[in-house]
Each structure stands twice: as C-alpha cells, then as structure tokens.
Copies of this chain bind each other. A is one copy, B any other.
Amino acid sequence: MTERRLAEIYRRYIDCLNTQNWEELGRYVDDTVSYNGQPIGLDAYRQARQDEFRSIPDLYFNIHLLTADEAMVAARLIFDITPQAEFLGLPVNGRRVSFAENVFYTFAGDKITDVWSIVDKAAVEAQLGVT
C-alpha cells in the first residue's frame, strides 16, 4: 500500500519537526521544495521552521486528520500554542491560542516537493477579539 507508506513517512516527518531534529529534515523534504507555489528550497524551509520554534517555544504539531494516496498527503494539524510576539500578523504577545492548519503535500519518491498550507487565521482573530 503506497498510500500507507506515505502516511508513515509523513508521521516520521512530523516527529522530526516536534523533536527539532534538523539534521534529519532532508530525509523528508526535497532540496527544491515549494511552499504555497513559491520555490524556496530545503535550507529556507528548515530556517522557517527553526524561526517558528524560536518565536513559539511550546510549538507542537498534532495530527487530527490524515489521508494519503501514492503521491500526496493531506493533514489537518491542531495547535495549542503560545506565540511570544506577533503571529500571522496578529498581536498574540504570549497569549495561548488554539487553531488548525489544513495542509497538502505532494511527494516525489519519499520527499515532499510541494506544500499547500492554510492556517485558520480567523480562529486566532476570534480568540484575540479582533477581526
């Protein structure tokens, strides 16, 4: 079952993020990875994730829903985190917020080549009382 294989690889990718095992990230993410249609490459992708952990010390990726086929993974991730300053352009400033991210990944072989992510900014706005 190729689809089960990619789901397994994806779970290991999420473990890799949660343990901040940056040396291993290139096992899951392609050198030429694109993010929301922008080619950024592995180094910038790793840097962006590292920056997130720096500005959100309790960052943790929880998989709520996961489905996959032979070339694509889709996941709904749940976050319950405390960004220290601005987050998504919103003044979170150390408050705890809960929200989801729905995200698609296309693969070449075992590696992610494209990420198509949407974060639920409206949910964060609602918790902050801003619109």
Residues of A participating in the B interface, judged by any CB pair closer than 8 Å: 3, 64-65, 67-69, 72-74, 76, 88-89, 100-104, 106, 116-122, 131
A89 neighbours in B (Cβ, 8 Å): 122, 131
Instruction: Known contacts A67-B74, A69-B3; decide if A118 and B131 are in contact (CB<8 Å).
Output: no
A104 neighbours in B (Cβ, 8 Å): 65, 67, 74, 76, 102
A103 neighbours in B (Cβ, 8 Å): 102
A119 neighbours in B (Cβ, 8 Å): 118, 122
CA distance A74 to B105 in the complex (A): 11
Residue of B nearest to A6 (CB): B67
CA distance A72 to B101 in the complex (A): 17
